[in-house]
Amino acid sequence: MKNVTVTMDDSVAEWARLEAARRNTSVSRLVGELLAEKMRSDDAYERAMNEWLQRDATYSSDGSPYPRRDEIYAERLDRFR
């Protein structure tokens, strides 16, 4: 593990001390856990995005224009009129 020095606003440091105490851990460990969670979250998002971009498109169009909103919902709208 590496030791690093972190500079933060006083209000952030106070929050970190309180949150670390609430979790029964040190500020150092809290910061490390928060950064590790951020890293995992970012990695998961990037993997999901890449999987989505690599998928085969399952939709097709015959070139005709999309129906208008009022055409799609005409039946539902008529019930409320």
High-pLDDT (> 90) share of the chain, %: 59
Bigger pLDDT: 12 vs 73: 12
Query: Whose structure tokens read 């006083």?
Result: 10
Task: Pick the range with the lowest mean pLDDT from 7-11, 28-32, 74-78.
Answer: 74-78
CA angle 27, 30, 32 (to 5 degrees): 110
pTM confidence score: 0.59
Domain 1-52 has CATH 1.10.3300: no
In terms of Cβ atoms closer than 10 Å to its own Cβ (0-12, 13-18, 19+), residue 66 is exposed
Rounded Cα distance between 6 and 27, Å, is 11
Angle between helices 10-22 and 27-54 (to 10 degrees): 90
pLDDT tens digits, residue range 27-66? 999 999 999 999 999 999 999 999 999 988 777 778 888 8
- Does 78 score more than 80 pLDDT? no
